Amino acid sequence: MTTQPLDVIFSPSSIAVVGASRNRGKIGYEILHNLILNDYQGTIYPVNPKARSVHGIPAYPSVLSMPGPVDLAIITVPVDVALAVVEECGRKGVRGLVVITAGFREVGGAGIGREERLLALCREYGMTMVGPNCMGVINTSPDIQMDATFAPTPPLRGGISLVTQSGALGVAILDHAKSLGVGFAKFCSLGNKAQVSLNDVLAAWKGDPETKIILAYIENFGNPKNFVRIARDATKRKPVIAMKSGRSEAGGRAAMSHTGSLGGSDLAAEAVFNQTGVLRANSIEELFDYAMAFSLQRLPRGKRVAIVSDAGGPAIMCVDELVANDLQLAEFSPATIEFMKTWAPQEASLNNPIDLTPQGSLEDYRNAMDAVLSDEGVDACIAIYVPPVRVDEVEVARVVWETAAKHAKPVLTNFLGRTEESPGFVELVSHGIPSYLFPESAARALAAMYRYAQYRERDEGRTQTFDADRALAEGIIGRARAAGRTRLTETEAMAFLDAYGIQTARSKTVASRSHLPATAKEIGYPVALKAVGERLVHKTDLKAVLLDLRTERELLEGAERIAIGLKARGVPFEGFLVQEYVADGKEVILGMTRDKVYGPFLVFGLGGIYVEYLKDVAFGLPPLTDQDAARMIESIRTYPLLTGVRGEAPCDIGALREALLRLAQAVQDFDEIAEMDVNPVIALEKGKGYRAVDARIVLSPSP
């Protein structure tokens, strides 16, 4: 016996189907039927108080009346008796439960309490439970052969394991997979996830030798932090391909801050995927496209792709999609092109993408694929075939797989206009060549393989703990809380950042204008002057910021102008902040927003006051490694501006990376911080660091 986690669910020696109905079409009947039909290798016990036997097998009135031990019970009784039979399972010593019965948390009201009692019973008797409200589980391993679902189509055996938060979608996927010839190792419908979660299943399958690829349909990550930790480990061992529906909560709130308003879409989930190397599929179709590529082909070593086609149009569409997905068209060596000239049809175009034209013969396909796959400058090949009248598609398919088999590079195909039933498709897929209905699908699948290959090689980096004056930071937050405030003043916010070693511009607050000259002198001209006060959020819009003041006169005149302007607008303010004026840098934003589901998220973007319009930001979920922080910075569209364009000096990107890590540490230390905007941060030249010149920190209301 192995001792994998969730073994009680996936490798039971005996199964009781509690609620095994005598009536065809009822769920309890269908599950028993599937177990028998698929040759479950253990002992099956139907449980039904009204029947002496079901499906020709002796039935028991209850689990307690059974002679032998029971590893797993599948619960398919109506909800009003479900808790009673679960309790009996506990008393019997059943170790695993798959609860198909619906009517728990998902229906609200009394269902919520029912689910709590169900969970309490599992805890009391030490039972591991999948569900309730689920479709069941499958393990196709020859020594188990368990199909404990009511899905009409039993899956083929294969290396893919699928975990799904939607039972119905699970059935659809199993069904479609069969028509594609895609086989499964394990299947788990999570239902309400009352106990066994997506993370538990991932954790179990990452070490499962039968599972080569994990597919997941995700509605939410449960505990995103655990997901990040487990998925990171899983993706280092095998590809995890996920389809995620539902949107992040981050942007749902009407946030006052810049950072909060940047959430909006699915960016938080996207960040989780980027950080963990989980490949995101945008549709069920794409989920299969990727699954087929990963299960049949090896990973490409590089991004240079050759296309061999008999038509120009689809080849060009394929090129566009490859380039859009960060792959490249390979450049053939002169020797490859010279060789092709010796046999290719006159009309053929021999530069990548190769267009053999409808004149291309089977031998031309073979020669062309052989030539490009032998070329050192090619990492992968996509063969496109638009069936002309004269050539048999099965023969083309055979040429493709025979030639691919001679080389160690991935080959994918697009037989345009052919379906999964066409003989060419069957010939290709049954010989290990993924075949797609459209050229773009082949290109996207290859790009996903390359992304994964890169991810496997990437350095995950290290987490780091910096020295910080935590007591000082606690004091600042504690005093604001004690005063009943949920916002730190700008001075407090800057002091908080200081406590975490974030480089802030030297600054001082004064209540009265008469103190301005001495303070400016102390800080040193040129200075920036800002009005401070509770209601001053968008200071630039309120004309409450003046920059680059060089003399005492400019300073005092400026203060006068700000005061008059704010008075005219009816905005009260409490004083002025005099600050070191930081010139000659690039404005960036560092921030944090707290998502109801994902928890705190770090934000990095370029743009200062333009950030809300550019929306060029990257998100990261703490704990961040140094490489995570580096990737966040590098992933924004305008990153080249930080490295310097047109002869500009590069910014101190290393210092910005450290700032993000320090901010991540601060955010993890203080759960009470709801939002943080350090904006703008002036990124200075390499070696000179950066200066945070404005900061807003919002606390969550006291509990």
Write down the H helix ranges in 157-304: 167-180, 198-206, 224-237, 258-261, 267-276, 284-296
- In the 8-state DSSP scheme, what is residue 284? H
**78 binds ligand COA, rule: CB under 6 A:** yes
Residue 272 burial (10 A CB sphere; 0-12, 13-18, 19+): buried
Both tokens assigned to 324 = 């859009």
CA distance 37 to 29: 12
Beta strands at 599-606 and 586-595: parallel, antiparallel or unpaired: antiparallel
**134 binds ligand COA, rule: CB under 6 A:** yes
Residue 564: HSE in the Cβ half-sphere, 13 Å Cα cutoff? 6
Among 11, 38, 48, 128, binds ligand COA (CB under 6 A): 48
Q: How far is the CB of 125 from ligand COA (least distance, A)?
A: 17
Which of residues 134 and 544 has its CB atom nearest to ligand COA in the complex? 134
Residue 512 burial (10 A CB sphere; 0-12, 13-18, 19+): exposed
**111 binds ligand COA, rule: CB under 6 A:** no
Residue 25 burial (10 A CB sphere; 0-12, 13-18, 19+): exposed
Among 34, 76, 199, 679, binds ligand COA (CB under 6 A): 76
Beta strands at 240-244 and 279-281: parallel, antiparallel or unpaired: parallel
Side by side, which strands form the sheet with 43-47? Answer: 43-47, 14-18, 72-75, 96-99, 128-130
Q: How far is the CB of 634 from ligand COA (least distance, A)?
A: 42
Among 3, 25, 50, 421, binds ligand COA (CB under 6 A): 50
Token look-up 């700032």 returns 659
Among 72, 73, 77, 528, binds ligand COA (CB under 6 A): 77
Q: How far is the CB of 215 from ligand COA (least distance, A)?
A: 17
Question: Torsions phi, psi of 347, nearest 5?
Answer: -75, -15
Residue 170 contacts residue 164 (beta carbons within 8 Å): yes
Number of residues that bind ligand COA (CB under 6 A): 28
Among 26, 117, 176, 686, binds ligand COA (CB under 6 A): 26
Token look-up 């709801």 returns 674
Q: How far is the CB of 115 from ligand COA (least distance, A)?
A: 13
Both tokens assigned to 92 = 């019997």
Q: How far is the CB of 396 from ligand COA (least distance, A)?
A: 42
Q: How far is the CB of 46 from ligand COA (least distance, A)?
A: 9
Q: Rounded to whole angstroms, what are the CA distances from 344 to 351, 366, 392?
A: 12, 11, 20
Q: How far is the CB of 203 from ligand COA (least distance, A)?
A: 23
Among 89, 118, 121, 135, binds ligand COA (CB under 6 A): 135
Both tokens assigned to 664 = 């991540």
Among 8, 15, 16, 27, binds ligand COA (CB under 6 A): 27
**23 binds ligand COA, rule: CB under 6 A:** yes
Q: Rounded to whole angstroms, what are the CA distances from 8 to 20, 35, 94, 137, 605?
A: 20, 16, 9, 12, 47
CA distance 578 to 529: 5
DSSP H or E run through 75: strand 72-75
Amino acid at 642: L
Which residue stretch of 42-50, 394-402, 477-485, 579-587 sits at the interface with ligand COA (rule: CB under 6 A)?
A: 42-50
Which of residues 85 and 494 has its CB atom nearest to ligand COA in the complex? 85
Residue 435 contacts residue 416 (beta carbons within 8 Å): no
Among 15, 18, 151, 578, binds ligand COA (CB under 6 A): 18
**47 binds ligand COA, rule: CB under 6 A:** yes
Among residue numbers 188 through 227, which ones bind ligand COA (CB under 6 A)? Answer: 189
Question: Torsions phi, psi of 331, nearest 5?
Answer: -105, 120
Q: How far is the CB of 392 from ligand COA (least distance, A)?
A: 44
Among 102, 667, 681, 695, binds ligand COA (CB under 6 A): 102
Among residue numbers 165 through 184, which ones bind ligand COA (CB under 6 A)? Answer: 167
Which of residues 100 and 397 has its CB atom nearest to ligand COA in the complex? 100
Among 51, 119, 468, 699, binds ligand COA (CB under 6 A): 51
3-class DSSP state of 256: coil
Which residue stretch of 72-80, 113-121, 216-224, 362-370 sits at the interface with ligand COA (rule: CB under 6 A)?
A: 72-80
Q: How far is the CB of 54 from ligand COA (least distance, A)?
A: 7
Which residue stretch of 97-105, 337-345, 451-459, 694-702 sits at the interface with ligand COA (rule: CB under 6 A)?
A: 97-105
Among 89, 100, 523, 588, binds ligand COA (CB under 6 A): 100
Residue 493 contacts residue 696 (beta carbons within 8 Å): yes
> Taking the CB of residue 144, how many other CB atoms lie within 10 A of it?
20
Which of residues 45 and 450 has its CB atom nearest to ligand COA in the complex? 45
Which residue stretch of 128-136, 412-420, 423-431, 535-543 sits at the interface with ligand COA (rule: CB under 6 A)?
A: 128-136
Which of residues 49 and 252 has its CB atom nearest to ligand COA in the complex? 49
**22 binds ligand COA, rule: CB under 6 A:** yes
CB-based closest residue to ligand COA: 167
Query: Is the bond into 439 cis (omega within 30 degrees of 0)?
Result: no
Q: How far is the CB of 469 from ligand COA (least distance, A)?
A: 53
Residue 202 contacts residue 214 (beta carbons within 8 Å): yes
Which of residues 18 and 340 has its CB atom nearest to ligand COA in the complex? 18
The DSSP-derived string for 166-185 is -HHHHHHHHHHHHHHT--EE
Binding residues for ligand COA, per CB under 6 A? 18-19, 21-23, 26-28, 47-51, 76-79, 81, 85, 100-103, 133-135, 167, 189
